[in-house]
Structure 1
Amino acid sequence: MNRPAGPPARPAADTALAGLDLLASAVLLVGADGQIRYANAAAEHLLEISARALARMQIAALFLNGDELANLCAQALAHEYADLRQDLALERSGRDALHVHSIVSVTGDGGVIVELRENVQQLKLDREERMLDQSQVNKELIRNLAHEIKNPLGGIRGAAQLLELELPEKHLNGLREYTQVIIKEADRLQTLVDRLLAPHRRPHIVGDVNIHEVCERVRSLMVAEFPTGLSIRRDYDASIPEFRGDKEQLIQTVLNIARNAAQALRERIAAGDAELVLRTRVARQVTLAKVRYGLALDLHIIDNGPGISPQIRDRIFYPLVSGRDGGSGLGLTLAQTFVQQHLGVIECESRPGLTDFRILLPLP
């Protein structure tokens, strides 16, 4: 009886090195001529190239600046170092650079073994730097745009009021409806502009802040707003010290995130199984805006909702970007502004069933 063919057998060299497939870091075996002889499974995943394709390539051809990696291999072979270690930003066509920590070691057969570990910390720093730059651009844009809108808006509203006063008595009832539409829409836009300018107008009032008092205030507001269907669980680290900050801004920050979560949870609230978690922890040796802090507040606001749409996930902190109908798209923008005024950052991870907003703030 004929049996279906199984997957193609791996080359003998690959079978002998199969244990390397168990490693989480990418491993390449490179000959003295720069030819890649072997790549483990982690290397396939990291480089997004199959092991068979890699085995036909030169190490220098892997990246646009692959000569840097090839030179490390050549140096290791020439001087027979125990290993060479270096952080590299390996450039790829059409994609972000790959930030890795490389370890190049000489093997006994005249080749080298190259280990590549993705530099998660560098990626995090680059992401935070982009976020800070974008936030600064957004703030300038909002401030300038709001002022440009504010002046003509007052003129439009004033003109509509004067027009209403000048309407003939016989047309007053019919035409007054239109002038009222102009006045009400001008007022609505005025309110939006005021909200855009709010974080830049209000003074930063600094005092001693207990983060659990902030969380409890938000919790009481959320319980009053959603008395049934929403369970709010507290998971606090009581050892977190007080720190200097603007308590009202931090309450507004956590409240904006919690309300967004509740809006996303409306179906689960109706079903009675919605959950919101307020979790506090201490993080150690944290880098925020390129400054290293020994201690940082690690505050999580977690919900079991449907998650944030992938289409807007990278833009949720941009102004006027909202994931729901009728949303203003300002809540998370204000939250980010307030956190940055406290020298902190907001991060977000989201998938169906779990969305986690993480606020990191330096502690004394």
Structure 2
Amino acid sequence: MTENTRVSTDALAAAIPAHQVTSLILFDRDLKILYMNPAAEMLLSVSARMARGLSLSQVIRCSRDVFDQHLGMVVESNQPITERGISLSLPDGHSITVDCTLAPVEFEDPETCVLAEIRRVDRQLRVTREEQLITQNLATRDLVRGMAHEIKNPLGGMRGAAQLLAMELGEDSELGDYTRIIVEEVDRLKSLVDQMLGSRQLPVMGAVNIHHILERVYTIVSSDPEHSIAFERDYDPSIPDLQADEGQLVQAILNIVQNAVQATGSKGTVLLQTRVLRQFTLAGVRHRLVLQINIVDDGPGIPQELQERVFYPMVSGKSEGTGLGLSLAQSMINRHGGLIEFTSTPGKTVFTIYLPLEQCNE
């Protein structure tokens, strides 16, 4: 190998980290930052010059302190470690989820350094979660329709038989109360089944202003004398009209807001917020503009054991609830090509509605 070739190869090797899309951070034996490539600077929102000589905990906060623990383990054991699904809090207040591999690196200096390879996985996790929600909603809808058909048929026979029996007994019969109870209970069960099915009518699309809809929901909920909830509104006034069925959209958002109000108790706060996302993917389709509606409450949060099933019908954290509100809301938003997602921790629950915007404006 000639001297020029060796120099060229060394320069190429030195340039590779700077062009990596994966974030790379090099630590010395004292776990202080020696180097960050441009991808790491972008990910952590800090320059390599500012971060040099700092510990990682001075740059980011990790929910489980796994970085500090594992960095020390790599130095002691001289073995690589991979950790997945780590939640990091950035200096700007945002949280991200990453996979991280920590590996020992030996240079001419006898002391071992540690190289951290960090890959952001928020988008992959969101796509997976979105696919699960859509599949879950479709499967639930098919199951409920099949059950509803099997339930409504005998209910119709029972109602007809009770009416015939009432006619045979006559109006003056003391048994008339029993036949009336049968008819009323059959009607109640039929109504419950119809609620589970939701509206089978396709959305009647028209141009609607999302802030008019949110204000209408706010008026409905805030007029209830039983609640003294503080509402906050944070709207993006630049959001254009979207194509939607106004009635279905009002009902879907109302179901979520009512849940938020009930969760916060008598002195909670509910935030209604709108934003626009650009180049956002929904159900495998990339949209130029997507409307994001956040409904945030400061209640106790959704119990962990319910979070995977919260959009199933008949699942509720309230003893008096029917468990239909979120299931129906998800179905109505799905009909508009959108999706509802949520995150919940004690003190902060966020339900986010995504709806494509561009069809009104193209």
TM-score, length basis structure 2: 0.70
Matches within 5 A, 1:70-109: 100=99, 108=107
Deviations 1:248-303 (A, max 9, x none): 111111111111122223x32xxxx3322211111223221122223211111122
In 2: Cα distance, 1:19 partner to 1:154 partner: 73
| 1:117 alignment counterpart | 119
| 2:31 alignment counterpart | 17
| 2:194 alignment counterpart | 194
- SS of 1:16's partner is coil
Are 2:255 and 2:329, in contact at CA under 8 Å, matched by a contact in 1? Answer: yes
| 1:150 alignment counterpart | 152
In 2: Cα distance, 1:287 partner to 1:313 partner: 23
Are 2:152 and 2:190, in contact at CA under 8 Å, matched by a contact in 1? Answer: yes
Residue 48 of structure 1 deviates from its aligned partner by 12
In 1: Cα distance, 2:150 partner to 2:78 partner: 57
| 1:248 alignment counterpart | 247
Matches within 5 A, 1:1-364: 15-19=29-33, 56=77, 100=99, 108=107, 113=115, 115-167=117-169, 172-173=173-174, 175-199=175-199, 201-226=200-225, 229-265=228-264, 267-268=265-266, 273-364=267-358
Are 1:301 and 1:357, in contact at CA under 8 Å, matched by a contact in 2? Answer: yes
- SS of 2:269's partner is strand
Are 2:102 and 2:114, in contact at CA under 8 Å, matched by a contact in 1? Answer: no
Residue 127 of structure 1 deviates from its aligned partner by 0.8
Size of the aligned set, in residue pairs, is 298
In 1: Cα distance, 2:72 partner to 2:128 partner: 33
**Aligned alpha-carbon RMSD (Å):** 3.8
Residue 186 of structure 1 deviates from its aligned partner by 0.9
In 2: Cα distance, 1:118 partner to 1:302 partner: 25
- SS of 1:312's partner is helix
In 1: Cα distance, 2:303 partner to 2:177 partner: 40
Are 2:82 and 2:101, in contact at CA under 8 Å, matched by a contact in 1? Answer: no
In 2: Cα distance, 1:167 partner to 1:230 partner: 53
In 2: Cα distance, 1:348 partner to 1:112 partner: 36
Q: Structure 2 unaligned segments of length 5 or more: list them.
A: 1-26, 44-55, 86-96
Are 1:101 and 1:119, in contact at CA under 8 Å, matched by a contact in 2? Answer: no
Q: 1:178 to 1:117 in 2, by over 3 A?
A: same
Residue 313 of structure 1 deviates from its aligned partner by 1.7
Residue 56 of structure 1 deviates from its aligned partner by 4.7
Partner amino acid for 2:254?
L
Partner amino acid for 2:145?
R
Residue 153 of structure 1 deviates from its aligned partner by 0.8
Residue 230 of structure 1 deviates from its aligned partner by 2.1
Are 2:339 and 2:353, in contact at CA under 8 Å, matched by a contact in 1? Answer: yes
Q: 1:99 to 1:139 in 2, by over 3 A?
A: farther
In 2: Cα distance, 1:288 partner to 1:102 partner: 30
State the identity %: 41
Q: 1:52 to 1:144 in 2, by over 3 A?
A: same
Are 1:107 and 1:113, in contact at CA under 8 Å, matched by a contact in 2? Answer: no
In 2: Cα distance, 1:228 partner to 1:137 partner: 36
Residue 213 of structure 1 deviates from its aligned partner by 1.0
